[in-house]
Amino acid sequence: MELGRLVPTLEWPACVMTTPKSSNGTWRKQRYQRIEGSDLEVLVLAAEAGSFRRVSTQVGVGLPAITRRIQKLEDTVGVSFFERSPTGVRLTNAGWRFLCRVRRILGELKLAVADVEIAGIGGNGEINFGVTGSLTNRPFCDLVSDFLGSHREVRSNFVQADRGELETLLNHRMIDLMFAPVGHSSGNGEVLPFAKHQIFLVVSPKHDLAGRKSVSWSDIATVDLILGAQEPELVFETFTRSGFIDRGDRIKVKRHALDREGIFNLVDMNLGSLAITAA
């Protein structure tokens, strides 16, 4: 029984970010927004060198300017990062904790700049795929392999999640393409039919539907569907529930705190039925 199709979607929505305002309506900078990247670089160099004077010599800037940068940073954050002595400087506990995070931030910032520079000159691109199930669907695997094989300069990332989460990521441009069965969605984005997918109803040998080559929606309406605690809801939410919504029938489903093996044992005991895909 063919109940749906697997399709990728593509969408380019907008995202809006706001900045807090003060009581008089003017833009109010948060404390971290007053920090300059060059001051953070000086902080890292001073921690590594253990001396403001060595940093001054290293970067070719006067010692007073280096000292002022560190002092400005400390005043902005509200803590002292260094213990000063005639022989040099040593990080305080607060300075050490701040430095650890600053190093990661600067590293991510450098990577971000490198990425957009590559994109700006038409260099290596990146495509983010979202999938609702495991990467076992042969048509999808062939499509991705052919595309990436023809575009070896393009980097690929994969995210597996349920349909709702993937649609959220797609709406916020965190992924570029979603590969999922057709079902009721927000209606946003372009939809390209890609392949047909089959759904199987697993029933007990004792069930009245056992031995049937195919079943109808009316047949499924007579069974009690069950799901496990970790059972992915791909089949049920995308195919089964949407099929009943289209028909106006009511669906009976119960979730048990069991793994896949436990659910199959319940099916074998004729205590419920399970809808699965052809993996």
Enumerate domains of the chain plus CATH numbers: 2-14+123-195 (3.40.190.10), 31-120 (1.10.10.10), 198-277 (3.40.190.10)
Tell me how far the alpha carbon of residue 156 is from its chain's centroid: 14
- The model's pTM is 0.39
Q: What are phi and psi of 62, to 5 degrees?
A: -60, 150
| Residue 22 confidence (pLDDT) | 55
Map residue 129 onto helix, strand or coil: strand
Q: What does the buried/exposed string (b/e) look like for 94-117 if buried means 16 or more CB atoms within 10 Å of the residue's CB?
A: ebeebbeebeeeeeeeeeeeeeee
pLDDT digit string (tens) for 122-156? 455 778 888 876 666 677 788 888 888 888 878 88
Nearest to 275 by CA among 207, 208, 203: 203
| Distance (Å, whole) CA 117 – CA 106 | 16
Confidence of residue 176 (pLDDT cuts 50, 70, 90): confident
Which long-range CB contacts under 8 A does 21-27 form with residues at least 24 apart?
Answer: none
Averaged pLDDT, 266-275:
87
| Residue 239 confidence (pLDDT) | 53
If one compares 84 and 154, the residue with the highest pLDDT of the two is: 84
pLDDT digit string (tens) for 102-119? 998 888 888 888 777 665
pLDDT digit string (tens) for 243-263? 555 555 566 778 888 888 888
| DSSP assignment letter at 133 | S
Residue type, 165: E
If one compares 198 and 267, the residue with the highest pLDDT of the two is: 267
Contact at 8 Å (CB) between 13 and 187?
no
Averaged pLDDT, 263-278:
84
Averaged pLDDT, 61-86:
92
> What percentage of the chain has pLDDT greater than the value 90?
20
If one compares 88 and 211, the residue with the highest pLDDT of the two is: 88
| For residue 182, pLDDT beyond 50 | yes
Confidence of residue 192 (pLDDT cuts 50, 70, 90): confident
DSSP string, 195-241: EEEEEEEE--TTSTTTT-S---HHHHTTS-EEE-TT---HHIIIIIH
187, HSE (Cβ side, Cα atoms, 13 Å):
0
Averaged pLDDT, 165-177:
84
Contact at 8 Å (CB) between 247 and 197?
no
pLDDT digit string (tens) for 4-62? 333 333 333 333 334 455 555 555 567 777 788 888 999 999 999 999 999 999 889 89
Which pair of structure tokens corresponds to residue 263?
Answer: 């659910």
Nearest to 141 by CA among 199, 195, 193: 195
Contact at 8 Å (CB) between 73 and 102?
no
If one compares 57 and 165, the residue with the highest pLDDT of the two is: 57
Which pair of structure tokens corresponds to residue 33?
Answer: 């927004």
- Rounding to the nearest 10 degrees, give the CA dihedral for residues 73, 79, 84, 90: -90
| Distance (Å, whole) CA 98 – CA 36 | 15
pLDDT digit string (tens) for 222-241? 788 888 765 555 455 555 55
Distances (CA, A) of 211 to 18, 191, 205, 214, 273: 60, 36, 8, 9, 14
Give one word for 278, left, alpha or beta, with left for phi > 0 and alpha for psi -120 to 50.
beta
